[in-house]
A and B are shown apart, each in its own frame.
Chain A
Amino acid sequence: MKPKKILGSNEIEIILNRLSYQLIEDFNSFEETVLIGIQPRGANLAKKISGLIDFLNPDNNLKLGFLDITFFRDDFRRSKKVLNASSTQLEFSVENKTVVLVDDVLFTGRSVNAALNAIQSFGRPKAIKLLILIDRRFSRELPIQPDYCGLQVDSRLNQKVIVNCKKYDVYDSVYLINDDNG
């Protein structure tokens, strides 16, 4: 099967704007809310959304951070790939804050599970929400669902969703491809 284009740059832009508006609607000035991107790809998306929120609602107190989950993953020594870490940049405590976790694709739910564990090292949040660009529903291995979702995609296990991003803030396209290795 040829790679199937699910989203183009215009559609992604509309979706990200919608998600940003949803966050603004729910959290207003973001006094008690922090946006945390899961490294590596969720970090880009979080940056992009934070930029959109700044543009749409300049008067906000949104704090942005990046969380690396490598050392909390449950597939250490179980996958063929060596798990190499990215950096965690959280300059604030999440104690009593509402955390919005951001990632590009939600698949098995294991990365988000690792993020839920990792975030505990930085305090006890009041609540944790999940924002996802692409939700590959029907492939979850853990009971984890997004609170803010860009697009739901039905895909098979041996397929991959590729989110192409030129620079951190320029999203090109989303493709569904067949993964021969998987």
Chain B
Amino acid sequence: MMIMDDLSVNNLLGIKYLNTDDLKLIFKTADNFKEVINRKIKKVPSLRDITIANLFFENSTRTKLSFELAQKRLSADVLNFSSSGSSISKGETLIDTVNNILSMKVDMIVMRHPSPGASVFLSKNIDSCIINAGDGTHEHPTQALLDAYSLQEKIGYLENKNILIVGDIMHSRVALSNIFAYQKLGANVTVCGPKSLIPNYISSLNVKVEIDFKKALNNSDAVNMLRIQNERMSETYFPSIREYVQQYGLTKDILDSIDRKIIVMHPGPINRGVEITSEVADSEQAIILDQVENGVAIRMAVMYLLASKLK
């Protein structure tokens, strides 16, 4: 299989902007980094002359740690910024904040921001390499990359595979990035959840909608369980958590009742007992911790490939 040797983009703003060859190149490079991070000495010197700023205008544990670890494994210099206790509260604009940071000779920006489109906006206004680490309800490209990579590792090429995304599709950036990534790799995507949490435009993405959870599971090779994003909800979208759990919670009984063994994924953080029971989350079918491990390799691959395009 021929794989391109260069990304088609200079920033990673969303999966929407990548082509299938980009995904394959990132996965192939991640294979190499996965081998590196399983060595006794897990560090390579590739980015030793690169400085990366992690700008987190929104809370994060996993993504932030994963990016930071990936940067350190690549020998990059790392600056960490979080909005609490910063000049953001003094009224500074996003562009000013970032330009100030870039004046300190920073080469690459990893940004998480609560506003959808924040990283696209930034890329149009500043001259630097930007990686979107989640922008509001829009995209979370590295999560989708690591999800697709982890799944491919388990079940092989995703072409014609059926992948189900369950839960709060409306408020989830993971859902949108996942849909783009799986489709670019040739998979069929179905979303499932309460009608109130499935956005109206979803059919324009060529995605199937299924309200009946068990029926949807029966036709799937893998399921990605999403969390209810309470922090992004200004109103009530379903009667009660209890009712949501009854209809859309993934339990061992449901998994056992379907005739195929499907892979269970979760981007974290898990709300045990809500969208997924502990029994399922800790079962053999779940690849949740593989996803976390692969996250470091995928982020190393993305930063390595983007850094190679820096002038």
Contacts and interface: CB of A to CB of B under 8 A. Distances in A.
Contacts of B197: none
A138 interface: no
Contacts of A121: 36, 39-44
Nearest to A73: B46
Contact of A71 (B5, B6, B45, B305): B45
Given A82-B5, A88-B35, A121-B39, A71 B44 contact: yes
A95 to B, nearest CB: 10
Interface residues of B, number: 24
Interface in B25-77: 28-29, 31-32, 35-36, 39-47, 49, 74
B307 interface: yes
A111 to B, nearest CB: 15
B308 interface: yes
Contact of A76 (B35, B42, B308): B308
Contact of A83 (B41, B45, B74, B308): B308
A134 to B, nearest CB: 26
A76 B46 contact: yes
Interface residues of A, number: 20
B205 interface: no
A81 B4 CA distance: 12
B254 interface: no
B40 A77 contact: no
A142 interface: no
In this complex, the member of B29, B32, B41 whose beta carbon has the largest number of chain A beta carbons within 10 angstroms is B32
Nearest to A90: B39
A77 B5 CA distance: 14
Given A68-B32, A76-B308, A84 B44 contact: no
Interface string A64-94: 0000101110001100011111111000000
Contact of A85 (B29, B39, B307): B29
B5 A84 contact: yes
Contact of A122 (B40, B44, B49, B74): B40
Given A76-B46, A84-B5, A71 B36 contact: yes
